[in-house]
Amino acid sequence: MDLPRSFTIRESSHRICNPFTSDKLALLGRAISPAPGTRMLDLGCGKGEMLCTWARDHGLTGTGVDLSTVFIDAARKRAAELDVADQVEFVHADASGHVADEPVGIAACVGATWIGSGVGGTVDLLRHSLAPGGMMLIGEPYWRREPEDQRVVEGCQMARRDDLLTLPDLLEQFGGLGCDVVEMVLADQDSWDRYVSAQWLNVRRWLDTNPDDELADQMRAELTSAPVQYVGYQREYLGWGVFVLMDR
């Protein structure tokens, strides 16, 4: 049970495995201003940067769950580096069935709503761990611009136009799920650039040191096409944000 190696190759230098910068992650923490001692569950936690830095900056405690052994190992090392290993723990598991042992004040799934087969299922999963009055964090892409045709949809690595919503429609969906949207922090094109273009350098460095690996041809083809595809489609059409929800 693990993520494909291609994921960990692309994001080998990343601390944040989504289009957020450290500044935006810190801004989100300040925006919701959790009380010291608040317990948090982060499903699909990646390398644990949100949980670790918020434990340091806000005194949180909590648990991160992720499918990747590489990411979980990085998260544990980050917790030790920031001297918060006694506040947080990281579990290698399929987050799609994970419910906290005790209710938490913050339940998060930032960029991995596939664990609940979409936004609706993920909100329902997080509710199983959430204390009354707690907050849910959902990280989700959306259409920054309406795609004109199927060519644009596929250029953004989507199968169908309906795979994503526009930002107003996404917020309306949250309301339809019985949630108030109480905060949001959105990625911008610069933070997208930092996330995606760093992947190209990671892939190139990996190719230089692993030319005979069984994935080399696949990763070479990806590096050849990815920059043009990104600036032609994803950079212009895709948005991404973290939305803070509270049950009505």
Answer whether 59's CB lies under 8 Å from 52's CB.
no
Tell me what the mean pLDDT of segment 53-58 comes to: 98
Domain 5-151+164-247 -> CATH class = alpha beta
* Res 73: pLDDT: 97
| Residue 1 predicted with pLDDT over 90 | no
Cα distances from 203 to residues 8, 25, 226, 233, in angstroms, run 10, 25, 11, 20
Residue-wise pLDDT tens digits, 177-228: 999 999 999 999 999 999 999 999 999 999 999 999 999 999 999 999 999 9
* Res 44: pLDDT: 97
Backbone angles phi, psi at 123, to 5 degrees: -60, -45
* Res 54: pLDDT: 98
How many Cα atoms are found within 13 Å in the side-chain-facing hemisphere of 178?
7
Tokens of 10: 């692309």
* Res 216: pLDDT: 98
Instruction: Report pTM.
Output: 0.96
* Res 244: pLDDT: 98
* Res 56: pLDDT: 98
Residue-wise pLDDT tens digits, 112-142: 999 999 999 999 999 999 999 999 999 999 9
Give the pLDDT band of residue 19 (cuts 50, 70, 90). very high
Tell me what the mean pLDDT of segment 239-246 comes to: 98
Cα distances from 58 to residues 54, 156, 162, 237, 242, in angstroms, run 5, 36, 38, 34, 18
| Residue 109 predicted with pLDDT over 90 | yes
Q: Burial, 197: exposed, middle or buried (Cβ in 10 Å; 0-12, 13-18, 19+)?
A: middle
Cα distances from 11 to residues 68, 153, 203, 208, in angstroms, run 12, 24, 9, 16
| DSSP conformation class of 184 | E
Tokens of 236: 């212009």
* Res 3: pLDDT: 87
| Residue 84 predicted with pLDDT over 90 | yes
* Res 113: pLDDT: 96
Cα–Cα–Cα angle for 22, 186, 235, rounded to 5 degrees:
95
Cα distances from 62 to residues 15, 40, 56, 120, 216, in angstroms, run 18, 5, 12, 24, 38
Q: In degrees to the nearest 10, what's the CA dihedral of 199, 204, 205, 207?
A: 120
Determine which of 3-7, 85-89, 189-193, 228-232 has the lowest per-residue pLDDT on average.
3-7
Answer whether 242's CB lies under 8 Å from 184's CB.
yes
Tell me what the mean pLDDT of segment 161-180 comes to: 97
Under 8 Å CB-to-CB from 230, ≥6 apart: which residues? 196, 197
Scan for tokens 């993920």, then name that residue: 122
* Res 97: pLDDT: 86
* Res 2: pLDDT: 85
In the predicted model, what is the mean pLDDT of the chain?
97
Residue-wise pLDDT tens digits, 60-77: 999 999 999 999 999 999
* Res 80: pLDDT: 98
Tell me what the mean pLDDT of segment 80-93 comes to: 98
> Hey, where are the domains in the chain?
5-151+164-247
Edge-first strand listing for the sheet containing 39-43: 88-92, 61-66, 39-43, 104-110, 130-143, 238-247, 179-186
